[in-house]
Amino acid sequence: MTVKLPIYLDYQSTTPMDPRVVEVMIDCMKNDYGNPHSRTHSLGWKAEEMVEIARKNVADLIGADSKEIFFTSGATESNNIAIKGVAHFYGATGKNHVVTIATEHKCVINSVRDLEQEGFSVTFLQVQQNGLVDLKQLETAITDKTCLVSIMTVNNEIGVIQPLAEIGALCRKKGAFFHTDAAQAFGKIPLDVNSMNIDLMSISGHKIYGPKGIGAIYLRRKPRVRIKPIFSGGGQERGIRAGTLPTPLVVGLGKASEIAKNEMQKDHDHIKKLSDKLFDGVTKLTHVYLNGDLEQRYIGNLNFSFAGIEGESMIMAIKDLAVSSGSACTSSSLEPSYVLHALGVSDELAHTSIRFGIGRFTTEEEVDYAIKLIASKVDKLRHLSPLWEMMQDGIDLKSIEWKGH
Amino acid sequence: MAYSKKLLDHYENPQNVGSFAKDEKNIGTGLVGAPACGDVMKLQIKVSDDGIITDAKFKTFGCGSAIASSSLATEWIKGQKIDEAAKITNGQIAEELSLPPVKIHCSVLAEEAIKAAIEDYKKHKNAA
């Protein structure tokens, strides 16, 4: 079997839509154009019914009640609503402290930074070398002024899974709400808001083979989490997020959630098999390191550092593979990944990192092709690399006085 | 990011990759950049008694633009007098490869690598 190029290995960035999702969405766009908020005719009622089915599908995937799910444009919006919404509501009562970690997605980090600008007190906890939060540090950081602890479920760059149940228990004990950005986890690993004591959760559609432009936020009802909404509007989504719901997108997220729930084990087994294969194939090469904890990780994410090879040149060399780099040169900034930096990965190794994402539609042939390609290009690029030459000559790179810019 | 055909050519088929043997004479070595910044260039020249660069080699840790800039630099300086080679500017390299603005620093590094190699050669020659 020949493989179709390029091979998509960037499932943390986004996912191709499942054909079953596309099908229900097209049907909805063709036939069910009613405004789900219209109460005066059957087209509105039908759309509303479809939205409510989708809401239940989302809720079922995390052990929540439908009434606790509110649709948004995606995880970025949900994170903004959760962090700013809780802080603005409870800040007035004197709870004006927010805790998060250094490896969060930029939308969480920047939401918290915005609060800091407004005068809130904020704590950015460092993570351990394996990317996981230190629970003792977290416990010390939460005070009686803390209204919210925001810690992601699965890290987007390195795939590590934070200990949600332990964090949730800690937050409950200390009287702070627990928000988790589950954009990379929802539909991929088992999540239960009750057993994990999660009070708010951000959810994304396009990471689980659903459409872009739709997500959701879970807000616990008992004990009730209150937020100050960001949008002013017509009171849709019970005032949490005003604006007419995009029924086809909502239906798409619902279908994607339903499939994810029914096929979670199947997806897991498929991805695990391919992930193990890629891991074995790539780590056979010398001086390749996996970033983030080996055990506590989502299996569909493998972030490797290839010593001596700068990330962008690697990506150019393996251009048959659609992958992402934590390396500076792919973005407009020249800083290497802040996530790897937080793990204490040295700058030179951070510049060599590549993220491989495996998903529902990845095939074994694609992984075989990828391993072969990676192996041949690693050789070629190391032959080009002065750092690799020095390492081979036994020169400690740290012993050299570099004249950097 | 869209790269020019010339840049891609140099990246796909870099010229003059390698290092001179450690005991070879009349060699100048320039090592510029830093691993922490994501760019390191090592550029070496071999110079004849009458001051002409007879051969050049490079190794580069860096993005595609950095590799292409150093490959081009070695091509240009081969056959040149060291004083001429020292006049090559980053602007010429950036123009030849149509470097995008965020990659201009790669051509700066290539210019510095040439100059550093020539300095190193002169230092050794004067010491001898």
Residue range of the domain that includes B12: 5-127
Q: How far apart are CA A273 and CA A123, in angstroms?
A: 39
On whether any CB of chain A is under 8 Å from the CB of B97, the answer is: no
Output the CA–CA distances (angstroms, integers) from residue B26 to A26, A293, B29, in the order listed.
Answer: 72, 50, 10
Residues of A in contact with B41 (CB under 8 A): 386
Averaged pLDDT, B2-29: 93
Domain for residue A177, yes or no? yes
**Domain co-membership, A242 together with A272:** no
On whether any CB of chain B is under 8 Å from the CB of A347, the answer is: yes
**Domain co-membership, A268 together with A350:** yes
Q: Has residue B104 got a pLDDT over 80?
A: yes
Q: Has residue A355 got a pLDDT over 50?
A: yes
Averaged pLDDT, A316-335: 74
Q: What pLDDT is recorded for position A59? A: 98
Q: Has residue A371 got a pLDDT over 70?
A: yes
B8-27 residues touching A, CB cutoff 8 A: 11, 14, 17, 19
Averaged pLDDT, A255-279: 98
Q: Mark yes or no for CB contact B61/A387 under 8 Å.
A: yes
The domain spanning residue B105 has which CATH number? 3.90.1010.10
Domain for residue A75, yes or no? yes
**Domain co-membership, A196 together with A327:** no
**Domain co-membership, A78 together with A49:** yes
**ipTM field:** 0.94
Q: How far apart are CA A236 and CA A250, in angstroms?
A: 14
**Domain co-membership, A135 together with A180:** yes
Contact call for residues A180 and A153 (beta carbons, < 8 A) = yes
Averaged pLDDT, A65-91: 98
Contact call for residues A124 and A149 (beta carbons, < 8 A) = no
Residue range of the domain that includes A369: 7-14+264-391
Averaged pLDDT, B81-101: 96
Nearest in space to A156 (alpha carbons), one of A190, A186, A125: A186
Write the single-letter amino acid at B88: I
Higher-pLDDT residue of A325, A233: A233
pLDDT band at A226 (very low <50, low <70, confident <90, very high): very high
Q: Mark yes or no for CB contact A328/B34 under 8 Å.
A: no
Q: Has residue A327 got a pLDDT over 60?
A: no
Question: 3-state SS of B65-120?
Answer: HHHHHHHHHHHHHCCCEHHHHCCCCHHHHHHHHCCCHHHHHHHHHHHHHHHHHHHH
User: At which of A217, A242, A262 does a domain end?
Assistant: A262
Averaged pLDDT, A160-175: 98
Model confidence pLDDT, tens digit, residues A285-313? 999 999 999 999 999 999 999 999 999 99
Q: What pLDDT is recorded for position A404? A: 64
CB nearest A404 (choices: B37, B102, B108): B37
**Domain co-membership, A143 together with A232:** yes
Averaged pLDDT, A329-344: 76
**Domain co-membership, A300 together with A216:** no
**Domain co-membership, A242 together with A301:** no
User: At which of A247, A262, A277 does a domain end?
Assistant: A262
Q: Has residue A354 got a pLDDT over 90?
A: yes
Q: What pLDDT is recorded for position B1? A: 60
Residues of A in contact with B109 (CB under 8 A): 405
Residue A226 is classified by DSSP as: -
**Domain co-membership, A226 together with A303:** no
Q: What pLDDT is recorded for position A332? A: 52
On whether any CB of chain A is under 8 Å from the CB of B59, the answer is: yes
Q: How far apart are CA B98 and CA B119, in angstroms?
A: 28
Closest CA of chain A from B115, distance in Å: 14
Q: How far apart are CA A144 and CA A335, in angstroms?
A: 36
Nearest in space to A110 (alpha carbons), one of A140, A144, A84, A141: A84
Q: What pLDDT is recorded for position A328? A: 47
Q: How far apart are CA A326 and CA A138, in angstroms?
A: 27
On whether any CB of chain B is under 8 Å from the CB of A336, the answer is: yes
Q: Which two tokens stand for residue A36?
A: 């789900």
Closest CA of chain A from B67, distance in Å: 8
How far out from the chain centre does Cα B58 lie? 6
Domain for residue A2, yes or no? no
Averaged pLDDT, A74-91: 98
The domain spanning residue A174 has which CATH number? 3.40.640.10
Model confidence pLDDT, tens digit, residues B34-71? 998 889 999 999 999 999 999 999 999 999 999 999 99
On whether any CB of chain B is under 8 Å from the CB of A134, the answer is: no
Q: What pLDDT is recorded for position B126? A: 85
Domain count within chain A: 2
Q: Has residue A335 got a pLDDT over 80?
A: no
Closest CA of chain B from A81, distance in Å: 33
B63 has catalytic annotation: no
Residues of B in contact with A316 (CB under 8 A): 11, 63-64
**Domain co-membership, A246 together with A301:** no
Q: What pLDDT is recorded for position A326? A: 62
CB nearest B37 (choices: A308, A330, A405): A405
Q: Which two tokens stand for residue B113?
A: 């690598």
User: At which of A231, A262, A293 does a domain end?
Assistant: A262
**Domain co-membership, A102 together with A149:** yes
Averaged pLDDT, A163-191: 98
**Domain co-membership, A254 together with A336:** no
Q: Has residue A152 got a pLDDT over 60?
A: yes
Q: Mark yes or no for CB contact B39/A310 under 8 Å.
A: yes
**SS3 category, A7:** strand
- In percent, the amount of chain B with pLDDT more than 90 equals 87
Q: What pLDDT is recorded for position A109? A: 97
Residues of B in contact with A402 (CB under 8 A): 33-36, 40
Q: Has residue A30 got a pLDDT over 60?
A: yes
Q: Per the residue annotation, which of B37, B48, B54, B87 is the catalytic one?
A: B37
Q: Per the residue annotation, which of B106, B113, B116, B118 is the catalytic one?
A: B106
What is the count of residue pairs from A and B with beta carbons less than 8 Å apart? 88
A353: closest chain B residue by CA = B38
Q: Has residue A329 got a pLDDT over 70?
A: no
Domain count within chain B: 1
The domain spanning residue A351 has which CATH number? 3.90.1150.10
Contact call for residues B33 and A322 (beta carbons, < 8 A) = no
Q: How far apart are CA A188 and CA A180, in angstroms?
A: 15
Q: What pLDDT is recorded for position A389? A: 96
Q: Mark yes or no for CB contact B38/A389 under 8 Å.
A: no
CB nearest A389 (choices: B19, B63, B64): B19
**Number of residues assigned to chain A:** 405
Residues of B in contact with A332 (CB under 8 A): 102
**SS3 category, A114:** helix
Average pLDDT, chain A: 95
Q: What pLDDT is recorded for position A96? A: 97
